[in-house]
Structure 1
Amino acid sequence: MQKGTKRNIFVAATYAAVLLLGILLGQNYADEQGSKPGSTLVPIGLSSNTWKVQQLLNLVAEAYVDSVDIDSVQNGAINHIISHLDPYSSYLVPYESQRQTEILEGTFEGIGMEYFNLNDTLMIVSLINGGPADKAGFRVGDKLLKIGDERVAGMNISRESVEKLIRGRRGTEVYIHVKRDGEEMVAPIKVVRDQITVSSLDVVYMIESGVGYIKVRRFGINTAAEFKQAIIELKKQGAQKLILDLRDNGGGYFHMAIKMASEFFADRRLIVYTQGAHEERHEYYSDSTQGGNFATGQLVVLINENTASASEIVAGAIQDWDRGTIVGRRSYGKGIVQEQFDFSDGSTVNLSIARYFTPLGRSIQKKYIPNWSNMIDYNNMYNGLWALDTLYAHGMAFETQAGKKVYSGGGILPDIHVAQDSNALSLFYQDLIQYSFIEQFVYTRFTKQAPAYSIENFLQGYHLPDNEYGVFIEFVREEGFVISDRKKDELRDLIESDIEALVGRLYFGREAYFKVKNRNDSFVQKALEFLQPTN
């Protein structure tokens, strides 16, 4: 295996994210791992380390009793090897590799439409402003009946199948039959596929006078440039303090995290360094040519248990240099860097090559155990690699220049802790999320007519009417779920907040969802309290 001159290093979490919504345009909003095409793997002959594997594959291909798909056998062998290394190394077939690259690059060829599967019918819940679907005349609330000649309504069709029907080369056409306001439209809508760009920033706005707020979804190829522009715009609006929200950000491109972190320092600072068994120590510094665009001013970074890898690099550098205050809950604890190696058929191996360390030398990687010891125990050889690590155990202690104690091992521990909401952990609420009951309720009741108010009025004063919560409870009970009056009262604020945010998203777009949700968000409230001026 030889490395080419072009290397693309990335970090990303491999935990699963629950997708509440499917994306017709081939892009999802979940945080997944991936990278740009990197080093190419080419056949270099057999070696003392690989001859048995290759000989076995040749033997199966030439002598096995039944004909087999040798590609599938190879894929299985590769997956078996990779699965025993660490929790992050992975093998991606060509489709998966292409999809992850599109997600992190934020560009792809599609039509700019998002749908939700409501009672086995695909309903449009979002359109990209100025995108092909928007220009073609689609509306939020439209229900898709046929895509081309393929019927999709009532067919229990998978998201992957829908994408294959929707996606295609830029400039090509697709005809979609639609049901609108309860009536099937006479003619299908023609839409011309185009290049679609999706920002890696969920929302940028002034959350209070003098306080800017930016939520970063992932570290894609354009994140640093988008973040820099967002900072400039917020400062024009008077932002002197900033809340950087990295909750649920599973990572992305390693170098984008370094570039984004550079915005918080006026001089040259070590952001992170990497080192591995086959990788010498490599240090990465902030860009000191011009200084960051938010090198001064109070900074709060929000993290939670799903803040991982590239996000932890940013949070770790800010914490080690006493540049800002970390608010939230202990982060995921992913301190390993991957490099992507490409096979000639388009498949890729994302291989862990080094550990990364914060400026003070902290490793935030949580414990895992390589699984090769299970090779004899065939029933358990595919079990997970994680060691028991349910409680935070302080590793080596470090001290910042300001005298603050920070620790290695098991993620970034916040400076200000935000307790977990017990209501959000309740089994009933988790069932509501798993079965998408809140989405079903909103998309059933709130798509029948357009809102009678502006986005400004909605964000400032909209609250769910008193009777709607009772209607929602009855809706859930009709689906066979049992909820006591006590639990109904305990969950009311949380569920109403979810409904209000989703209504905002439906009527006014993705940014409105986060603006509404932040009104009662405990992390955000804790950050704003910290940023309040002292007398």
Structure 2
Amino acid sequence: MQKERKRNIFVAATYAGTLLLGLILGQNYSDQQGFNSGGSLVPIGLSDNSYKIQQVVDLISSRYVDSINIDSAQNGAINHLISHLDPYSAFLMPNESQAQSEILEGTFEGIGMEYFNLNDTLMVVGVISNGPADKGGFKVGDKIIRIGNKKISGALVSKEEVEKLMRGKRGTTVEIAVEREYDQEPILLKAVRDQINVSSLDVAYMLKPSVGFIRIRRFGIKTAEEFKDAIIDLRKQGARNLVLDLRDNGGGYFHIAIKMASEFFEDKRLLVYTEGAHELRKDYHSFASGNYTQGKLIVLVNERTASASEVVAGAVQDWDRGLIIGRRTYGKATVQELFNFADGSTINLSIARYYTPLGRSIQRKYSPNWSNMKDYVTMYNGLWNLDTTYHHHESYQTGLGKKLYGGGGIVPDISVEIDSNQISLIYQELVKSSLIEQFVYSRFAKKLPAYSIENFLQGYTLPDAEYESFIEFLTSQGLNIPFKKQEDLHDLIQSDIEALLGRYYFGREAYFKVKNRYDQFVNQALTELQIVPNPS
């Protein structure tokens, strides 16, 4: 084990958000928990039993009746030990650690192409502008039939295998055969793998003439710089108000969250502090002269806003800097540090808790749920009981007299009710089955857009006949929706289809711009800013 130990602290989210589309960028484009590179593993414990685990490993290695994979046994023992500490400490195998590091770094080696598995054929649904795939001549709508010498179309190839075929060292070439509409023969294309840069900002644009909108996916290494550039650009366009969307943002780098939150303050303010049994209190202050210190600020949150996102929302709320709109956040206020093994595996260990400027810990209460441990196969399933109970005996008051509480996440200043249609079993089944994507890509992929992006975003509405066709498609797939439920889900499904069309025709940003036209969180924000909201 290495001796030196770096002290880069970060806050990691504890869940993985899954996109509807696969991404061939050298990795799966999934919003997983955020990790920062930390220290090397140091010797643990000082008691007489410090080396008991190592003694057992040595004993098994030298005396056990059969030969075993001792590395696998050690990994299992470590995983068992770490999983019993708290819900957020974790042992990561080398491939897991590398994948999560790449996500937050925002750079990796690939070809920059998104795909969707349509009827066991990989259909290109997105190409990064000026990336390797774009330079190689790939187009949205292409169907991948072969990668190198491996047949893809109709071959039931796993996502992991496709990813492995696409990935490779920078400068190497991948040869891909595609089918293209109006071409009778397959086309052979080549892409030279390169470093791909993916922004952690989903979108930044003028929502209304005086309102800027920024949605952040995670707090990666470049997020603060990207946010600063976006703020400066939006202000040049006339933004006097800002809506910051942190919904579904599971966290990321702790120090990046602090750096980004500093943009909202013109002087040095305490933004957060950390403390633990073996960690002395450490205060983190904003940097002076942020780039958005005066305008109105609204932060959108939901139940999947966690960790580093809650650091930002907590500072904004405690200092009365802006309004928090949405639903109660996840409630994760522990700080992790990453310790590295020589083989590339890592331990993500909780070392401290963080507290908002007023001293609130918004951590969910957690306790072991031993009743779920029925056997070794399912021993980790549901190990932790989590609840969002508030500590009403821990009340805090902001400078403007707002009363806040500790425990259980951040309560928004203005709540947005849950859309019962979004959480309905039928809609959840639609999302899980990707039937909406299948309908859109099979029905509209062959058509070129009859709109400019501006006209599409402002005026396109899915015709009623197309919605009826979608219902017929669902019936053909064995999913029969009662007529009343068809009416209830109409607006939600319509916005999903329109957003996917926008993404397919005009790129990723168009997806969020279309979704925001109907978004109840966004409309509530516009109402609070005394601006006419979007029609719903």
TM range (shorter): over 0.9
Give the partner amino acid of 1:173.
Answer: T
Partner secondary structure for residue 495 of structure 2:
helix
Partner residue, 1:532: 530
User: In 2 relative to 1, CA 464–44 (structure 1 residues): closer, same or farther, beyond 3 Å?
Assistant: closer
Give the partner amino acid of 2:462.
Answer: L
Give the partner amino acid of 1:118.
Answer: L
Query: 2: distance between equivalents of 1:138 and 1:375?
Result: 49
Contact 1:367 1:386 in 2 (8 A): no
Structure 2 matches for 1:80-479, cutoff 5 A?
80-181=80-181, 185-288=185-288, 291-370=289-368, 381-387=379-385, 389=387, 394=392, 396-479=394-477
Partner residue, 1:40: 40
User: In 2 relative to 1, CA 419–40 (structure 1 residues): closer, same or farther, beyond 3 Å?
Assistant: same
Partner secondary structure for residue 188 of structure 1:
strand
Deviation at 1:375, TM superposition (A): 8.8
Deviations 1:437-473 (A, max 9, x none): 1111111111102212110110010111120000000
Partner secondary structure for residue 123 of structure 2:
strand
Deviation at 1:184, TM superposition (A): 6.2
User: In 2 relative to 1, CA 387–114 (structure 1 residues): closer, same or farther, beyond 3 Å?
Assistant: same
Deviation at 1:43, TM superposition (A): 6.5
Query: 1: distance between equivalents of 2:66 and 2:37?
Result: 36
Deviations 1:51-78 (A, max 9, x none): 2211111222222222211111111111
Query: 1: distance between equivalents of 2:255 and 2:248?
Result: 19
Contact 2:3 2:42 in 1 (8 A): no
Contact 1:132 1:191 in 2 (8 A): yes
Point out the more displaced range, 381-390 or 193-202: 381-390
Deviations 1:131-172 (A, max 9, x none): 000111101111111111111222222222111111111111
Partner residue, 1:486: 484
Partner secondary structure for residue 230 of structure 2:
helix
What root-mean-square deviation, in Å, do the aligned CA atoms of Structure 1 and Structure 2 show? 2.2
Query: 2: distance between equivalents of 1:49 and 1:235?
Result: 61
Deviation at 1:516, TM superposition (A): 0.3
Partner secondary structure for residue 102 of structure 1:
helix
Give the partner amino acid of 2:526.
Answer: L
Deviation at 1:2, TM superposition (A): 8.7
Give the partner amino acid of 1:56.
Answer: V
Deviation at 1:392, TM superposition (A): 5.4
Query: 1: distance between equivalents of 2:116 and 2:374?
Result: 45
Point out the more displaced range, 43-52 or 70-79: 43-52
TM-score, normalised on structure 1?
A: 0.95
Deviation at 1:182, TM superposition (A): 6.7
Partner secondary structure for residue 496 of structure 1:
helix
Give the partner amino acid of 2:261.
Answer: A
Point out the more displaced range, 213-222 or 39-48: 39-48
User: In 2 relative to 1, CA 94–500 (structure 1 residues): closer, same or farther, beyond 3 Å?
Assistant: same
User: Which 5+ residue runs of structure 2 have no aligned equivalent?
Assistant: none
User: In 2 relative to 1, CA 450–48 (structure 1 residues): closer, same or farther, beyond 3 Å?
Assistant: farther
TM-score, normalised on structure 2?
A: 0.95
Deviation at 1:185, TM superposition (A): 4.1
Deviation at 1:179, TM superposition (A): 1.1
Give the partner amino acid of 2:436.
Answer: I
User: In 2 relative to 1, CA 2–357 (structure 1 residues): closer, same or farther, beyond 3 Å?
Assistant: farther
Contact 2:318 2:398 in 1 (8 A): yes
Contact 1:85 1:371 in 2 (8 A): no
Deviation at 1:118, TM superposition (A): 1.0
Query: 2: distance between equivalents of 1:372 and 1:437?
Result: 38
Identity percentage of aligned residues: 66
Query: 2: distance between equivalents of 1:133 and 1:87?
Result: 40
Query: 2: distance between equivalents of 1:403 and 1:80?
Result: 46
Deviation at 1:523, TM superposition (A): 0.1
Query: 1: distance between equivalents of 2:28 and 2:60?
Result: 39
Deviation at 1:395, TM superposition (A): 5.3
Query: 1: distance between equivalents of 2:433 and 2:531?
Result: 43
User: In 2 relative to 1, CA 393–433 (structure 1 residues): closer, same or farther, beyond 3 Å?
Assistant: farther
Contact 2:364 2:388 in 1 (8 A): no
Partner residue, 1:8: 8
User: In 2 relative to 1, CA 101–264 (structure 1 residues): closer, same or farther, beyond 3 Å?
Assistant: same
Give the partner amino acid of 1:251.
Answer: G
User: In 2 relative to 1, CA 272–2 (structure 1 residues): closer, same or farther, beyond 3 Å?
Assistant: farther
User: In 2 relative to 1, CA 335–485 (structure 1 residues): closer, same or farther, beyond 3 Å?
Assistant: same
Deviations 1:403-428 (A, max 9, x none): 00011100000000000001111111
Deviations 1:488-531 (A, max 9, x none): 01110010010000100010001000000000100000000000
Query: 2: distance between equivalents of 1:364 and 1:244?
Result: 20
Deviations 1:272-325 (A, max 9, x none): 00001110101000012xx10000110000000000000000000000000000
Contact 1:25 1:114 in 2 (8 A): yes
Alignment counterpart, residue 509 of structure 1, candidates 480, 491, 507: 507
Contact 1:83 1:89 in 2 (8 A): yes
User: In 2 relative to 1, CA 75–458 (structure 1 residues): closer, same or farther, beyond 3 Å?
Assistant: same
User: In 2 relative to 1, CA 2–137 (structure 1 residues): closer, same or farther, beyond 3 Å?
Assistant: closer
Give the partner amino acid of 1:21.
Answer: L
Point out the more displaced range, 240-249 or 151-160: 151-160
